[in-house]
C-alpha cells in the first residue's frame, strides 16, 4: 500500500526527470520493495523456524543449546559459534557433528582444588579465562598461570546432545532454525534429510 502511494507520488517526477533520474528512482523503488518484503518476512517467522527456536531454547530433555551457544541474538556464547557450520553443513552432517562423542576444544583444567572441563575464552601470559562446563550454566573462571596445575584435552567430556533422543522432526526444525539464523534461508528441512 505504502509503495503504491509512493509510486504514484513519484510519477510526475518520473515524467519530467531525466533518464538517469528515472533509473535511480526505479532502483530505489525496487530496493524499497525488497526492504518491505524482508521486514514482512521477519515479522511472520515460518513455523519451522519457530519450532526449531523452541528446541534450541528447550531444556526439557537436555541442557538447552542456548546455554552454551548463541544464535539469532539468543543464548550465551560459551562454545564455538555455529554460524559457519549451520551455513555450510548439510542437515545430516550438522546433526552428526552435534552428536559427536569426541570433542577437540574442551580442556580438563586442573588446579589445587580439583579439575573441571572447560573452554578457553582467552589466554594471557599471566592469566587465563575459562568457561567452566562443569557448572550449568557454565561459569567464567579466571586463573593465574600459577593456579593452573595442568590443562590438556578432556577425553571424557560429553557434548550434551550426544546422548539425547530427538525425533527427526525436532532435528529438522532445529537445523531449519539454525540455518535461518545463519543465512536467512527459510527453506524447509524435511525429517528425511536428517534421518
Ligand atoms: C554445556 C554446553 C553445551 C551445550 C548445552 C551444547 N553445546 Fe554444542 N558445543 C559445546 C562445546 C564446548 C563445543 C565444542 C566441542 C569441541 O569441539 O571441543 C560444541 C560444539 C558444537 C558443534 C560443533 C561446532 C563446530 O564448529 O565444530 C555443534 C554443531 C553444536 N555444538 C551444536 C549444539 C546444539 C544444536 C546443541 C543443543 C541441542 C548444543 N550444541 C548444546 C557446548 C555445548
Q: Is the pLDDT assigned to residue 171 strictly greater than 70? A: yes
For residue 134, what are the CA distances in angstroms to 102, 139, 146, 153?
A: 17, 8, 21, 15
Q: Which of 32-36, 63-67, 146-150, 165-169 has the lowest mean pLDDT?
A: 32-36
Residue 34 has pLDDT above 70, yes or no: no
Grid coordinates belonging to 77: 556464547
Residue 160: CB within 6 Å of ligand 1? yes
107 within ligand 1 shell (Cβ under 6 A):
no
Q: How many CB atoms lie within 10 A of CB 4?
A: 8
What mean pLDDT comes out for the span 135-141? 97
Distance between CA atoms of 183 and 75, rounded to whole angstroms? 18
The per-residue pLDDT for 110 is 98
How is residue 58 annotated by DSSP?
Answer: -
pLDDT of residue 45: 54
Would you list the DSSP string of 78-121? -S---HHHHHHS-HHHHHHHHT-S--SS-EEEEETTEEEEEEEE
For residues 32 and 25, give the distance between their C-alpha atoms in angstroms, rounded to a whole number. Answer: 10
pTM (two decimals): 0.80
| 3-state SS class at 127 | strand
Say how many Å lie between the CA of residue 159 and the centre of ligand 1: 6
Could you tell me how far CA 96 lies from the centroid of its own chain?
Answer: 17
Q: What cell does 164 get? A: 539425547
- What is the DSSP annotation of 130-176? EEETTSSS-EEEEEETTT-SEEEE-SS---GGGG----HHHHHHHHH
pLDDT at 101: 85
Q: Tens of pLDDT along 37-96?
A: 666 555 565 589 999 999 999 999 999 999 999 999 999 999 999 999 999 999 999 999
Give the pLDDT band of residue 179 (cuts 50, 70, 90): very high
Question: Which grid coordinates belong to 83?
Answer: 554460524
- The reported pLDDT for the residue numbered 3 is 55
Which of 59, 67, 68 is the best mutation target for the ligand 1 pocket, counting ligand atoms within 8 Å of the beta carbon and taking the most?
68
Which of 78, 80, 100, 180 maximizes ligand 1 atoms within 8 Å of its Cβ, making it the mutation to test the pocket? Answer: 80
pLDDT at residue 10 in the model: 54
Report whether pLDDT(20) > 60.
Answer: yes
6 three-class SS:
helix
Cell matching residue 160: 550434551
- Cβ(82) – ligand 1 distance below 6 Å: yes
CB-based contact 162:102 (threshold 8 Å) = no
Amino acid at each position: 500500500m505504502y509503495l503504491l502511494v509512493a509510486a504514484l507520488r513519484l510519477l510526475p517526477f518520473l515524467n519530467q526527470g531525466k533518464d538517469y533520474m528515472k533509473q535511480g528512482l526505479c532502483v530505489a523503488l525496487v530496493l524499497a520493495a525488497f526492504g518491505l518484503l524482508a521486514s514482512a518476512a521477519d515479522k511472520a517467522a515460518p513455523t519451522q523456524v519457530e519450532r526449531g527456536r523452541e528446541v534450541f531454547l528447550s531444556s526439557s530433555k537436555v541442557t538447552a543449546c542456548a546455554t552454551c551457544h548463541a544464535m539469532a541474538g539468543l543464548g550465551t556464547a560459551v562454545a564455538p559459534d555455529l554460524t559457519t557450520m549451520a551455513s555450510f553443513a548439510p542437515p545430516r552432517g550438522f546433526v552428526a557433528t552435534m552428536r559427536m562423542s569426541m570433542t577437540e576444544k574442551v580442556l580438563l583444567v586442573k588446579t589445587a582444588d580439583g579439575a573441571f572441563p572447560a573452554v578457553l575464552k582467552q589466554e594471557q601470559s599471566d592469566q587465563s579465562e575459562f568457561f567452566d562446563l562443569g557448572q550449568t550454566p557454565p561459569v567464567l573462571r579466571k586463573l593465574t598461570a600459577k593456579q593452573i596445575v595442568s590443562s590438556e584435552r578432556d577425553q571424557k567430556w560429553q557434548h550434551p546432545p550426544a546422548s539425547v533422543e530427538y525425533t527427526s522432526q525436532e532435528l529438522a526444525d532445529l537445523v531449519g532454525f539454525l540455518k535461518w539464523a545463519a543465512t536467512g534461508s527459510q527453506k524447509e528441512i524435511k525429517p528425511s534429510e536428517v534421518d
